[in-house]
Amino acid sequence: MVSVKWPPDMNIAPYYSDAWTAIYCSDYRQVLPLLEPESVDLALTSPPYDELRLYGDHQEFDFNEVAVGITAVLATGGILVWVVGDQSVNGSESGTSFRQALAFKELGLNLHDTMIYAKNGPSYPSQDKYYQVFEYMFVFSRGKPKTVNLIRDRKNRWPEKWSAERSRRLKTGEIIHHKGHWRAEAEGVRFNIWEYNTGAGYSAENDIAYEHPAIFPYNLAIDHILSWSNPRDVVMDPMMGSGTTLVAAQSLGRRSIGIEIEEKYCALAVERLRQKPLC
């Protein structure tokens, strides 16, 4: 990737900057084109999808412009994590999430993984369907991912147990047996459904963040940043909101760029950054 000056050298002054973080209080359509191409290692964001939340005076969201902008600044091997859901209109889910996933593929990104962010309860319980408790976390890559740090914290059912044989089924239906000696580790790689608590007060890191109407969990940001980036990499959230991505990036020793059009949320993000020193 290109060498990135810090904060990024652009003809727009940051709202806030320090050795690790740069915040731009502006429209992403103005800031993204000014960033160096392929200068971002990880983009982690949740767009204002459908009409599930209102975001102050700036309601317009242009998916095509933000998608093209993110793709242009994503490094070769870089990752985009797109956290999104759908609303129901006249009894039918919108399908916005799927259309956006296909659009990113058309822009040349690989759909590396389709993950699920599972919540511990519904925000608005439905009366005519099973309660909605998840959002998609589409993980896109620009080519082969250059950083994959899979989290290993899933407790194995039979830790330390030795096995003398393994088997797998071929496409033909035939079962192949392999002889050998394998031992199950105490903890294995996570599955791709990640569950987090939601609701006011569920996390000390997010207490003041609830002034923003639609945040994702701090630990969700931590887990993706650990998985797809390394220390001193550049992490970006082009629709920063209250700054959860930036706070998590700072705590893990990553540089970060945040873009947010609402000044009150920029101020909130700065306050959170100052309360959360590097670990």
CATH code, 16-151+190-275 = 3.40.50.150
Query: How many Å apart are CA 15 and CA 33, to the nearest integer?
Result: 18
> For the chain, how are helix, strand and coil distributed in percent, rounded to 5?
25, 30, 45
Q: Looking at residue 121, what DSSP letter applies?
A: S
pLDDT of residue 163: 59
Q: Are 23 and 246 in contact (CB under 8 A)?
A: yes
The C-alpha torsion from 188 through 189 and 192 to 194, rounded to 10°, is: 70
Q: Are 178 and 165 in contact (CB under 8 A)?
A: yes
Q: Are 155 and 186 in contact (CB under 8 A)?
A: yes
Distances (CA, A) of 1 to 36, 70, 77, 123, 142: 10, 15, 9, 41, 12
Written as six digits, the tokens of 231 are 């220390």
pLDDT at 52 over 80: no
Q: What is the pTM of this model?
A: 0.86
Q: What confidence tens digit (pLDDT) does each residue in 100-119 have?
A: 999 999 999 999 999 999 99
* Residue limits of CATH 3.40.50.150 in the chain: 16-151+190-275
pLDDT at 214 over 70: no
Which of 22-36, 81-95, 243-257 is predicted with the least confidence, judged by mean pLDDT? 81-95
Write the single-letter amino acid at 97: S
Q: Give the residue with greater pLDDT, 186 vs 130.
A: 130
Query: How many Å apart are CA 30 and CA 32, to the nearest integer?
Result: 6
Q: Are 258 and 269 in contact (CB under 8 A)?
A: yes
